[in-house]
Amino acid sequence: MKVNDMNVTVSIVTHNSDKIFLSLDSLIRSLGKDQSIQIKIFDNASEVKYQERLAKYLEYSFVSIEFFEENKGFGFGHNANLLGVSGYGIIFNPDIILSENHLNEMVKHLADHPKCGLLAPKILNEDGTTQYLIRNHLDVFDYMLRFIPFKFVKRLFAKRLAKFECRDLPDDQDSFVRMISGSFMVVDLVKFNEINGFDDRYFMYFEDNDLCRKMEQAGYKALYSPQFSVIHLYERGAVKNQHLFFIFLQSMRKYFQKWGWQFF
C-alpha cells in the first residue's frame, strides 16, 4: 500500500492549552504542500477568546474543529475525532512540536507491521534529551516514586526507576513494548474501532495505558520506533497542580481497579 493511498487523521484535543498555537504552526509548516493529512481538533469547552483564536485555523481546508460545550476529557475528545474513521490516526497532544514531517513515514512503518495496533516515536524535551515514557509494566510504587521530590530517594531506587522507564531499550531499532504515551501515538483505526477506542471514563491520565492494554487484550502489539522523534513541551501538570494530581489519583484508582492492583 502506498502512503498516499492511506487516510491519515491527526487528532488534537484541547482545553485552553496555550501551547496549541505553536503546535499547530509547526504541524502545518511541516506538512507544507502535503494536504493529504486531515487535522481534526476537538475543543473541550475552552474560553471564548481562545476559541476565536483557534477558529482562525479553519482557513486551512484540511483543518476541522468541533467546539464542544462541556469538558469531557482527553479520551472522549479523541473518540469523537476518530471513532468511525478509517485509515490511520495520530494522537497529537496540543504541546507536541514537529521539527520534521515524518508523519507519513511513521504511518507506513505501522502499516508494515500488521500485528501492531500502535506506534510511538522517541519523545524528546526541547533540549533534545529523551522523555522516558515507555512502560512494560505498571505498579503503584514506581508510579508514585516519580512524584517524590527528594533526590536521595530517587538515587536509592535508581535501578528500579530505570527499569520502570524502560531506559534499556535500544536506540537504533524497533522494540515491541506494552505501553506507550498518549502524548503522541500512531494508531491503526481499524483496530482502534474494534476495541471501541479510549475508555472515556478516564477524564485525564492513564487512558493511554488503558488503550494499550485493550489493544494487547485484543492481540495487537505496540511498537516503539526511536528512529522517528517529536518534541513534547512537557509540563508535568500533575506534579505542580493539586487539582490535576487529584484527577491523576482518581484515574490511577480506576486503572488498577479495572486491570488489577499491583503495588510493587
Q: What is the mean pLDDT of residues 36-47?
A: 96
pLDDT in tens, 221-259: 999 999 999 999 987 655 567 888 899 999 999 999 999
Q: Does domain 1-137+168-235 have CATH number 3.90.550.10?
A: yes
Q: What is the pLDDT of residue 47?
A: 97
pLDDT in tens, 152-178: 888 899 999 999 999 999 999 999 999
Whether pLDDT at 1 is above 70: no
Q: What is the pLDDT of residue 3?
A: 52
Confidence of residue 101 (pLDDT cuts 50, 70, 90): confident
Question: DSSP string of the chain?
Answer: --GGGS-EEEEEEESS-TTHHHHHHHHHHHHTT---EEEEEEEES--HHHHHHHHGGGGSTTEEEEEESS---HHHHHHHHHTT--SEEEEE-TTEE-SS--HHHHHHHHHT-TTEEEEEEEEE-TTSPBP---BS---HHHHHHTT---HHHHHHTHHHHHHHTTTTS-SSS-EEESB--TTEEEEEHHHHHHTTSS-TT-SSSSHHHHHHHHHHHTT-EEEEEEEEEEEE----HHHH-HHHHHHHHHHHHHHHHHH-----
Q: What is the pLDDT of residue 187?
A: 99
Whether pLDDT at 40 is above 90: yes
Global confidence as pTM? 0.93
Q: What is the mean pLDDT of residues 3-30?
A: 91
